[in-house]
Chain A
């Protein structure tokens, strides 16, 4: 095990695994967000479930660890990789040999991180730790997260930030998805193509899914 963590491949494996874990979280997150389109009651019940269900509550700290691992090790590896080429090339043309997201995962990750900070303080923190209005659904009083989200998305500038965050995430996953499978060794000539196609599809789905919901609320206020 110590060999595993000492080696660059071992660390990269942790980046891939934590990435896949975070990816599964993104899918759950998008699914919950889709309840926003179903209306106030559905969404509020969904968030009530997410903020009170014991299983979800135990996963939350694991999720936090996932983020810390993914970000921490990536930053470390990026600096390590910088050191591997102290003298740079004068002219570099990698546009024909690799995709733009694959070469800019660190930048994209950094942008997503900035978004994440804004996003967490705007929604997750507010829903969990501040007093927001309550509303009755089916005889039970639950927090009215729907109204809070709708209010946030009526700010055009917040929608701009949100859509930008979703697009950065899409680009990040566009490379990250197939890269994670390659890193954990679950890939070969045929499967790499499949992971890539699936990754392209899922990254567009995720970027578009999150964006459409935000835009839907903005358009509703017009």
Chain B
């Protein structure tokens, strides 16, 4: 299949970037989206050009490294799927595909399609932990956890920290990410001890880093590759209320 790719190219963090259009011939519907980009890069390298920089690691939807905004949607058109899980069978011969990096003040572009997501680490450092002594693993049943809480905490913990929620959000808000981290801890007894300062500090950090605020459009939940639920944001709001009032 032949494709027209409109890709954001930017030499480094300081350079001014722009869109470059590539005509790619001979891509196959059996490729994954990232393989299609690998193939594009091979053709660029053969021509002596700089390949397109994009992030990827596991290529099976578990690491959260891949991060492309494809045709106006975070991780492309498929729901519950990261960019690396997107297949070229979703496209037709002759399609034009616009590929952009995540866009947010807190996620500056480093090169081409790669953004710096250190801001997420900083939010985690502000409260996404429990400060218990990590000795040997304790007996699993010594702290009883209701099944329902365990399941919800596990759902929240499936966030892979990709940042799709931020780019899907019209306000570039990190609320879904923060909510998943707050929930996974707040639902478990070990996380209750620091629940108050956690919600408050993580929110304050996100504000300071320049993320927007949540207006509940729900776009994050739809675009999140792990289907993290908005219910976690409601829980975050409750935790925040409890912590500040």
A residues sitting closer than 8 Å to B (CB atoms) are 1, 3-4, 6-13, 77, 80-81, 83-94, 96-99, 102-103, 105, 175, 178-179, 182-189, 192
Contact = CB atoms under 8 A, between A and B. Distances in A.
A159 to B, nearest CB: 32
Contacts of B245: 1, 4
A85 B105 contact: yes
B28 interface: no
Contacts of A12: 213-215
Given A1-B245, A8-B213, A97-B168, A13 B237 contact: yes
Interface in B208-245: 210-219, 222-223, 229-231, 233-238, 240-241, 243-245
B100 interface: yes
Nearest to B19: A90
B109 to A, nearest CB: 8
B11 to A, nearest CB: 16
A12 B216 CA distance: 10
Interface residues of B, number: 51
A97 B241 contact: no
Contacts of A91: 71-72, 98, 100
Nearest to A105: B215
A1 B234 contact: no
A12 to B, nearest CB: 5
A98 B218 contact: yes
Contacts, number: 148
Contacts of A185: 234-235, 237-238, 240-241
A97 B103 contact: no
Given A8-B207, A81-B215, A189-B229, 14 more contacts: A7-B240, A8-B212, A77-B215, A80-B212, A85-B172, A90-B98, A96-B77, A97-B73, A97-B223, A99-B217, A102-B216, A182-B216, A183-B237, A188-B234
10 contacts: A3-B244, A4-B245, A7-B200, A7-B207, A13-B241, A83-B212, A89-B103, A94-B219, A178-B216, A187-B230
Interface of B: 6, 8, 19, 69, 71-73, 77, 98, 100, 103-106, 167-168, 170-173, 200, 203-204, 206-207, 210-219, 222-223, 229-231, 233-238, 240-241, 243-245
Given A1-B244, A90-B19, A91-B71, A83 B210 contact: yes
A83 B244 contact: no
Contacts of B100: 89-91
B210 A182 contact: no
Nearest to A11: B213
B234 A10 contact: no
Contacts of B103: 85, 87-89
Given A1-B244, A81-B212, A93-B72, A182 B219 contact: no
Contacts of A175: 216-217
B200 A85 contact: no
A3 B200 CA distance: 8
B81 to A, nearest CB: 14
Q: Top 10 nearest A-B pairs by Cβ distance?
A: A93-B72, A84-B212, A185-B238, A8-B213, A81-B171, A97-B222, A81-B212, A97-B219, A84-B172, A98-B217
B237 A184 contact: yes
B103 to A, nearest CB: 5
Contact of B222 (A88, A96, A187): A96
